[in-house]
Amino acid sequence: MQHVQGVAEYFGRVPAIEPLELCARVPTPEPEQPYVPRCNYHFLLKTRENFRQIRVLSLAVGVTGTVAPLAERPFRLLWLGRVSSAVGDALIPVALAFAVLSVNHSATALGSVLAVFTLARVAFTLVGGVVADRLPRRTVMLACDGVRAVVEAFTAAMLFSHNMTLPLFFVTGAAFGAASAFFGPASDGLVPQTVSAENLQRANALLGLSRNSLNVVGPAASGALIAVAGTAWVFAVDSASFVLSAFFLLRLRLPAHARAAPNNFLHELRDGFREVASRAWVRASIIGFAISNFCLAAFLVLGPPIFMRHFHGARDWGFVSAWGGIGAIAGALASGRIRPPHPVSACFAASVLIAVPIAALARPLPLIAMAAAWTVASASITIGNTWWETTLQRGIPAAVYARVRSYDILVSFVFMPLGFISFPLIGRELGNGATLLAAAFVVALSNLAVAFVPGVHEVTDTHEPETPRAHAHAA
């Protein structure tokens, strides 16, 4: 997988009560502990100051190389499609929270809706990988956009007519989560088909940059739209964003990717696992990401209550979280320009920095130091994700890529929720300080260990796709 997409994809669809955009659709740990959005409104009101900082970082790193893939028409259409839907997605987390609470004034109800979405996505992720290897990936993405556009349009219509109910939120959440599970492997697998090999890393960096930039401003824009027009309009905008995404994808013409001979579903699923297990660099990396995501949850779930006791609660947590967003943008810009000779090893070496904010929270450092620690960690996550995704696209044969990627994605949606559940309980027994220091030690040690696994270090930035293991075996 990857580190929960810069803490971005995982939290990308979570309500405002989550600390990061990455908390997509994960229940709040405890109702009595306010869970703040990644981009707190108080901080985002300082829009000019925020964007001045982003602009300075952008100029320092250099943007020209990052946008070079847009010169290639196929990738430009794919990018426009993904950005179109991401605009709506960045607005939804806040709207979903208030829409559910307007129907049922209960944090439990909201958590249940988020849990249904997450469970549906987990349940169908591996299925989505098999389907994306069997069928044209553009077709899979178009079908997913169609389903999600209908789901969001239905939700908007029910909210407009005041007929939305909690059971309907469960149904729409499950449908949306399932469609998203199919979309992810297909979308990631399509990127190498749309861009030249020399621009692949920049293309992944640009997609990360676009996503992180939208997640910085999305919560504030959503709050403003809700205040002016209500939650239904946000769902209507999200529905329209999927229609626009489909419009760009329909204009994208690509030859079909290489596909293996059709087989029964369980056999193809087993082949996908064999492809993961037979490659030391993939196997070790997924284990490393799982440990990192689990330990990172300690910072995200214990941070808000610690900030309530030692700082100014939501305001300061939002400040730190927003700087994390800026760090993710800077990391995306840098990741398009830096090409380490051993990208997977470099990914995990950089990911050691995830331990810094976790350790800094144990006996909380001053606010500025906390913000700096989370900025550096967010940048390292985004850089590592770009290097990992690019290497995976280069090193895994197209015929099995979506299945391998689906196992990778699955880790994001399993281990972080486990951390959300576990660390509050561990903290009560051992104390938050000891728990955070232990999590920081484990994440630093595990990333360092994976970086020096021989099979991981052998992977270079010129890594070529290997022969599919399952197919070679079958032959």
Which position has the higher pLDDT, 48 or 78? 78
3 state DSSP class of 398: coil
Most distant CA pair in the chain, distance: 64
d(CA 324, CA 369): 12
Query: Model confidence at 43, in pLDDT bands (50, 70, 90)?
Result: very low
472 has a pLDDT exceeding 90: no
Lowest mean pLDDT among 31-45, 58-72, 120-134, 320-334: 31-45
Per residue in 53-76, pLDDT (tens digit) is 444 444 444 455 678 899 999 999
Alpha-carbon distance of 85 to 91, in angstroms, equals 10
Q: What pLDDT was estimated at residue 257?
A: 65
Contact between residue 77 and residue 249 where contact means Cβ atoms under 8 Å apart:
yes
Query: Is 206 in contact with 389 (CB distance < 8 Å)?
Result: no
Task: Kindly indicate the confidence band of residue 426, based on its pLDDT and cuts at 50, 70 and 90.
Answer: very high
Q: Which pLDDT band holds residue 464 (cuts at 50, 70, 90)?
A: low
Tell me: pLDDT of 385 over 90.
Answer: yes
Structure-block tokens of residue 165: 């109910």
Question: What stretches of 161-230 show up as alpha helix (H) in DSSP?
Answer: 166-194, 200-229
Count of structural domains, the chain: 1
Instruction: Look over the chain and give the mean of its residue pLDDT values, rounded to a whole number.
Output: 83
What average pLDDT does range 226-242 have in this prediction?
A: 93
Of the candidate ranges 101-105, 130-134, 417-421, 463-467, the one whose mean pLDDT is the lowest: 463-467
Residue, of 3 and 403, whose pLDDT is higher: 403
User: Which phi and psi angles does 22 have, rounded to 5°?
Assistant: -75, -15
Q: What percent of the chain stands above pLDDT 90?
A: 57
3-state secondary structure of 343: helix
- Look up the domain containing 436 and give its range: 4-254+263-474
Rounded CA gap, 158 and 285, in Å? 44
Show contacts of 372-375: CB within 8 Å, 24+ apart.
372/323, 374/320, 374/321, 374/323, 374/324, 374/327, 375/323, 375/324, 375/326, 375/327, 375/330
pLDDT: which is higher, 257 or 146 = 146
- Mean pLDDT check: name the lowest of 3-12, 132-141, 156-165, 375-384: 3-12
Confidence of residue 41 (pLDDT cuts 50, 70, 90): very low
The mean pLDDT value for 364-371 works out to 95
Amino acid identity at 40: N
Mean pLDDT of 183-208: 92
Helix axes 73-103, 137-160, angle to 10 degrees: 30
pLDDT of res. 421? 86
d(CA 300, CA 296): 7
**What pLDDT, on the 0 to 100 scale, is given for residue 29?**
44
The answer to whether residue 256 scores a pLDDT higher than 90 is no
> What would the mean pLDDT of 256-284 be, rounded to a whole number?
84
Q: Domain containing 448 — which CATH number? A: 1.20.1250.20
Rank 25-34, 88-97, 106-115, 120-129 by mean pLDDT and report only the highest. 120-129
How large is the average pLDDT for residues 432-441? 96
Residue 367 has a CB neighbour count (10 Å cut-off) of 16
Over residues 418-432, the mean pLDDT reads 91
Q: What is the mean pLDDT of residues 304-324?
A: 88
DSSP 33-99: S----SS-HHHHT-HHHHHHHHHHHHHHH-STTTTGGGGSHHHHHHHHHHHHHHHHHHHHHHHHHHH
Residue 236 has pLDDT above 60, yes or no: yes
Q: pTM for this one? A: 0.78
Question: For residue range 317-352, what is the model confidence (pLDDT) as tens digits?
Answer: 888 988 998 999 999 999 988 999 999 999 999 999
**Predicted pLDDT of residue 353:** 97
Which of 34-48, 134-148, 363-377 comes out lowest in average pLDDT?
34-48
Q: Assess contact for 246 and 146: CB atoms under 8 A.
A: yes
Residue 3 pLDDT grade (very low, low, confident, very high; cuts 50, 70, 90): low
Burial 348-358 (b: 16+ CB within 10 A, else e): bbbbbbbbbbb
